[in-house]
Structure 1
Amino acid sequence: MNLRYIQRNKQTPTIMKKQIVAIATMALMTSCGESLFDTYKDYAGDGEIRYVGKVTNLTTTPGWEHIKVNWTNSQDPIVDKVEVKWVDGDKRDSVFLPAGTTDYDIQNITSGSTLEISVMSVDKNLNESMAQTTYVRAYTPEHELVQAFTRIVAKNYFLKNHLLLTFVGWGEELDKAYITYTQKSTGKEMEFDLTPEIVGTLHLDIPDVDSTKPVKLYRNGYLQGCEDLIVNDPITLNTDIAFDSEFKDELKRQFGYDQIVPQDWADNVETFDLDWDMSNLLDLFKLPKLKTLNLGKNRYVRADQRDDEEKGQSKLVDVELCDWVLKTMHELTGLKVNRYDKHYKELAAADYIQEINHDGEPKLDMIDLSNATVHMMPADDEELVEMGWSSHPEFLVDGDETTLWNPYMSEKSVEYTLDIDMKATHKVHGIRLVQSYYDDSKATYRSLSPSMVKVYKSVNGSYYPLATFLEETALGYSTGEVNYIKFAEATDIQYVRIVVNTPTFFKNYQVSIAEIGVY
């Protein structure tokens, strides 16, 4: 007989007895009037936990300085109200709305911060449901998309009671743009509408404008994804406008004006020279008394090279804009233009532009350099010297423009320093540098002419301060061209230092100069 089987059977009646007792006890409790639910409730700690039904489908729509919030309410019958909370940086706010409300518009948002927005159901005891939260930014003046609105106006100038504007173009996001100003003759507040057609002309002249009163640009429009009209803050057009960097470099080269151009000079200058490539001539509008503009006057190109468009002619980039500037200046200030040797030939012919050809170089007192010596660094390669080669730095001061200083070509760019010892002290006003001349049969060698130079001066041959206003001075580099480089101030010196870099010559580097004189 299986003893384990007998033992299990003996235990079975005991287990069944316990189960019957438990059932009977529960039945007795029920018969006493207490439900099974109440029975469980007694053993649930603090009692029943009842959650308020939460909202769903929370969405937001950012607009101009406001955010629309939408949601779907819970069907829970105990919901008494809806609470909307939002956090904007260190600012917090909230609002209670009647039950059944499905949207709210958060108004008067002025910061560019991202808002934390939460929506909750609330019962009569102010118990809140679990929050539904999202993060969103309203469109405000600080929003990068608003700040990226097309500015429309690129540059503005005030000249003789005229407002002169150039435009960057009309943006697709724009709906309306206009300028407000005070009419000089009547004192009336005026509004000038800007349209895509007007802005498309790229420049505009508005007459009779009082520049002492605010002139403002207004721009309204729409952004993709935002139904509201974006009303940008107006831009006050500045009357104190700095010169462009390109023009400032020219002023520094000629007059030494660095970051600040004296207003007295700008307000009263009557004659001005431009000799080098320019993007535009807009900064001439800042010279209200300018009467004469000389173009290319200080470039001395050989007569047979005046048709060399690549190197023999200074150029303008935005020609149409330059034509408008000169025409407007002529009408408002009586400006006359002298154009030398076909420089800036892109300009349209006009009765205020006079064509002039140089008939010679300026008459200057040149210093006798017949006893001068030239020290070159780096020196000619010793192996080449042993073979009889010389770059002939002495040719730079021999008074003969047909003899050339011409170092051997190099695989790498080389910076050459040429120290001229005049053997005596002289008051020096500047130097005359002549580019090497190559006729058409040797046209490929014309690329040996340097386009930039650094000029220094010295009393004792040991200390060499900069001689010009600019550290590096532009050179005319058409073949055989003569350059006059004026010093920042006349100085008693014995030494002049010239520093040039080798231009690219095919796949190598090489440089050549015909003559250096001192005046």
Structure 2
Amino acid sequence: MKRNKYTTVLLFILMTILGCSESLEDTYKKYTGDGEIRYLGQCSNLSVKPGWKRLIVKWTNNVDPNVAYVKVVWSKDDQTNECVLEKGVAEYDITNLEEDGNYEISVYGVDKDGNKSIVNTVYGRPYTEYHEEVMAFTRLISRHFFVKNRVILTFSGWDVNLKSAVLKYTKINGDEGSVEFGDWLVMSGFTRFIVPDDVDTSKPVVLYRTGSLPGCDDIIEFEPYVLEHKIMFEADMKQELKRQYGFDENIPEDWVNEVEELELDWNFGSLEDLLNFPNLKKLILGKNRYLLDENAANDAEHGQSKLYDEIASYDNMNWTALTFSQFVLQTLNELNGLVVERYNKHYQTLKKASYIIEKGETVEPDLPYIDLKNYVFSVYPEDKDGYNSNVNYLTDGDVNTFWQPLQLNSYTTYEMILDVAEVRHLTGLKFVQRIYPGGDNQIMIAPSSIRINVSKDQINWENATYVEENNVGNSSGEITLIPFVSGGKDARYVRLQVNTATYYGFYNTSFAEIGLY
């Protein structure tokens, strides 16, 4: 009886639910307005490829028959553009993209009622003048020089992406001139080139280039490169001009144009910077390296200044193999009548030539030296354990005696101060290396540079020269004269700083004499 009661209740509840409910489909329609949404087929495999001021967009269309056409929309910042394409089109070229930057690109299908498929989006950046890869594209010409009515070029090497390069200019007679370059530059070994015509350098000299970039099928006409009348120096030549003349970063162009004679004594990467001096007529090499030891001139490592030209070049006038430096000297000789005077055996990579005059040994000039025999340097670190480094030998006037501290276990800078009793007018310092017997490996400890400061009160110190590090020749018995700044310095105290050099796992230094004039 109880079971029948429960059964009756359950049947009643079930009939109530069935009578009040609606179908699942009716429920779905109730909440979706007009019924089930059917999305159009979405395109796939969307990709974008950069071109010159354009983007090439590709995709795969869906086979949905309801797609009536395809729409492409691209935007950047607040600017939006779009294009409607026929059904089945699967590629579009977005052109006239003058502005650099990333563009958002959307592609979707649209049916006859304007309903859209799910949007597919990709980002792309076209190549423009402001793209870093365009701006960094090879200019081919790494340096250029204007000497008289000639233009001299140095090349950085032919880039495989460079298609053409043409230099255009105006000849001195008013006609247009041009030189077309190609990968023959690499094949022939050319790295330096003289434009064969007399050029009116008051008018533009321009390089025109075409080429391609990674992932870009377009041949690009790059911005014309105008060769400016701007003087640029490499670091080693800038340092040398500062040492001799006190020029900092900006070397006066008027001065450069007036220079007719230069003296060089130290190592250089190459003499290419001499092409910056359009009126250079005389170059003196190694004149200021004076030798006490007659054998020092034959010491290729220590007694000869060097040029470090990387590879051979070719003179496009006569196809003779030349180093970069020799190319420069020969060119200046042909254009300016340059004469080179070479002392001892410096810069041996320069081949003998009619314009190179061998001057032999150098002769030390007679200068008004101060007698320093009554003065002795104080040295820090001081001698230890009763050892005598003989610092008094530095001012005894005898080049055969020398100062030599104990060898050390670590790199050290010695600070040496000389008090000459009163303020004197000083115009330079003489530094003399000790004489090493032939084959003595101890020459390794000879200093190659020193620092020189002066003071009136031993409180306020000034650089005595235009540079902090002063080169000194480090061959056996070599004398280096170091001029102070123009006009000299008034000082009572002279301070030298000398660094130790490595010697078979230890550190040491030594030299023979100091003079003041």
TM-score normalized by the length of structure 2: 0.90
Aligned Cα RMSD in Å? Answer: 2.5
Deviation at 1:13, TM superposition (A): 6.7
Say if 1:21 and 1:190 are closer, same or farther in 2 by CA, change over 3 A. same
Question: Residues 429-487 of structure 1: CA distance to partner in whole angstroms, max 9, x if unpaired?
Answer: 1011100111026x121112111101112233443211100011011001111110000
Are 2:467 and 1:470 aligned? yes
The aligned runs of 1:366-385 (5 Å cut-off) are 366-381=369-384, 384-385=385-386
Structure 1 letter corresponding to 2:307: L
2:105 aligns with: 117
Are 2:163 and 1:166 aligned? no
Structure 2 letter corresponding to 1:474: N
1:329 to 332, 338, 362: 332
Question: Residues 196-230 of structure 1: CA distance to partner in whole angstroms, max 9, x if unpaired?
Answer: 11354101000312222222222212234322212
Deviation at 1:242, TM superposition (A): 2.1
Unaligned runs of 5+ in 1: 27-35
Say if 1:432 and 1:127 are closer, same or farther in 2 by CA, change over 3 A. same
Say if 1:325 and 1:4 are closer, same or farther in 2 by CA, change over 3 A. farther
Deviation at 1:189, TM superposition (A): 2.9
2:299 to 301, 308, 331: 308
Instruction: Please state whether the residue corresponding to 2:290 is helix, strand or coil.
Output: coil
Q: Answer with 248-257 or 68-77: which moved more.
A: 68-77
Instruction: Please state whether the residue corresponding to 1:134 is helix, strand or coil.
Output: strand
2:194 aligns with: 205
2:314 aligns with: none
> Do the aligned partners of 2:76 and 2:104 also contact (CA within 8 Å) in 1?
yes
Q: Hey, what's the Cα distance between the residues in 1 that align with 2:461 and 2:19?
A: 117
1:422 aligns with: 420
Say if 1:51 and 1:335 are closer, same or farther in 2 by CA, change over 3 A. same
Instruction: Please state whether the residue corresponding to 1:170 is helix, strand or coil.
Output: coil
The aligned runs of 1:114-263 (5 Å cut-off) are 114-185=102-173, 187-198=174-185, 200-206=189-195, 207-263=197-253
2:408 aligns with: 410
The aligned runs of 1:262-277 (5 Å cut-off) are 262-277=252-267
Instruction: Please state whether the residue corresponding to 1:211 is helix, strand or coil.
Output: coil
Deviation at 1:352, TM superposition (A): 0.1
Are 2:421 and 1:432 aligned? no
Say if 1:267 and 1:20 are closer, same or farther in 2 by CA, change over 3 A. closer
2:317 aligns with: none
Question: Residues 491-511 of structure 1: CA distance to partner in whole angstroms, max 9, x if unpaired?
Answer: 333322211111112111111
1:83 to 71, 74, 77: 71
Q: Hey, what's the Cα distance between the residues in 1 that align with 2:250 and 2:125?
A: 42
Instruction: Please state whether the residue corresponding to 2:462 is helix, strand or coil.
Output: coil
Matched-pair identity in %: 38
Q: Answer with 11-20 or 476-485: which moved more.
A: 11-20
Say if 1:9 and 1:462 are closer, same or farther in 2 by CA, change over 3 A. closer
Say if 1:79 and 1:438 are closer, same or farther in 2 by CA, change over 3 A. same
> Do the aligned partners of 1:159 and 1:288 also contact (CA within 8 Å) in 2?
yes
Structure 2 letter corresponding to 1:300: Y
> Do the aligned partners of 1:374 and 1:419 also contact (CA within 8 Å) in 2?
yes
Say if 1:39 and 1:289 are closer, same or farther in 2 by CA, change over 3 A. closer
Structure 2 letter corresponding to 1:243: F
> Do the aligned partners of 2:501 and 2:509 also contact (CA within 8 Å) in 1?
yes
Deviation at 1:309, TM superposition (A): 0.9
Say if 1:419 and 1:52 are closer, same or farther in 2 by CA, change over 3 A. same
Instruction: Please state whether the residue corresponding to 2:512 is helix, strand or coil.
Output: strand
Say if 1:104 and 1:471 are closer, same or farther in 2 by CA, change over 3 A. same
Instruction: Please state whether the residue corresponding to 2:209 is helix, strand or coil.
Output: strand
Question: Residues 301-339 of structure 1: CA distance to partner in whole angstroms, max 9, x if unpaired?
Answer: 332111111111000011710010000000001100001
Q: Hey, what's the Cα distance between the residues in 2 that align with 1:120 and 1:45?
A: 24
Structure 2 letter corresponding to 1:334: G
> Do the aligned partners of 1:41 and 1:47 also contact (CA within 8 Å) in 2?
no
Instruction: Please state whether the residue corresponding to 1:482 is helix, strand or coil.
Output: strand
Deviation at 1:90, TM superposition (A): 3.9
Q: Hey, what's the Cα distance between the residues in 1 that align with 2:266 and 2:103?
A: 54
Say if 1:191 and 1:42 are closer, same or farther in 2 by CA, change over 3 A. same
Deviation at 1:403, TM superposition (A): 1.2
> Do the aligned partners of 2:288 and 2:362 also contact (CA within 8 Å) in 1?
no
Instruction: Please state whether the residue corresponding to 2:298 is helix, strand or coil.
Output: coil
Q: Hey, what's the Cα distance between the residues in 1 that align with 2:29 and 2:244?
A: 99
Instruction: Please state whether the residue corresponding to 1:404 is helix, strand or coil.
Output: coil
Are 2:494 and 1:501 aligned? no
> Do the aligned partners of 1:149 and 1:171 also contact (CA within 8 Å) in 2?
no
Say if 1:82 and 1:427 are closer, same or farther in 2 by CA, change over 3 A. same
Q: Answer with 72-81 or 38-47: which moved more.
A: 38-47
Deviation at 1:47, TM superposition (A): 1.7
Q: Hey, what's the Cα distance between the residues in 2 that align with 1:265 and 1:339?
A: 24
> Do the aligned partners of 2:449 and 2:470 also contact (CA within 8 Å) in 1?
yes
Instruction: Please state whether the residue corresponding to 1:496 is helix, strand or coil.
Output: strand
Structure 2 letter corresponding to 1:510: N
Q: Answer with 241-250 or 324-333: which moved more.
A: 241-250
1:487 to 472, 484, 489: 484
> Do the aligned partners of 1:371 and 1:423 also contact (CA within 8 Å) in 2?
no
Structure 1 letter corresponding to 2:170: T
Are 2:283 and 1:293 aligned? yes
Say if 1:359 and 1:76 are closer, same or farther in 2 by CA, change over 3 A. closer
2:398 aligns with: 400
The aligned runs of 1:335-350 (5 Å cut-off) are 335-350=338-353
Q: Hey, what's the Cα distance between the residues in 2 that align with 1:397 and 1:38?
A: 112
Instruction: Please state whether the residue corresponding to 1:330 is helix, strand or coil.
Output: helix
Q: Hey, what's the Cα distance between the residues in 2 that align with 1:103 and 1:37?
A: 43
Are 2:33 and 1:46 aligned? yes
1:447 to 427, 430, 444: 444
Q: Answer with 428-437 or 110-119: which moved more.
A: 110-119
> Do the aligned partners of 2:106 and 2:119 also contact (CA within 8 Å) in 1?
yes
Say if 1:504 and 1:8 are closer, same or farther in 2 by CA, change over 3 A. same
> Do the aligned partners of 1:61 and 1:67 also contact (CA within 8 Å) in 2?
yes
Q: Hey, what's the Cα distance between the residues in 1 that align with 2:515 and 2:179?
A: 58
Q: Hey, what's the Cα distance between the residues in 2 that align with 1:155 and 1:20?
A: 93
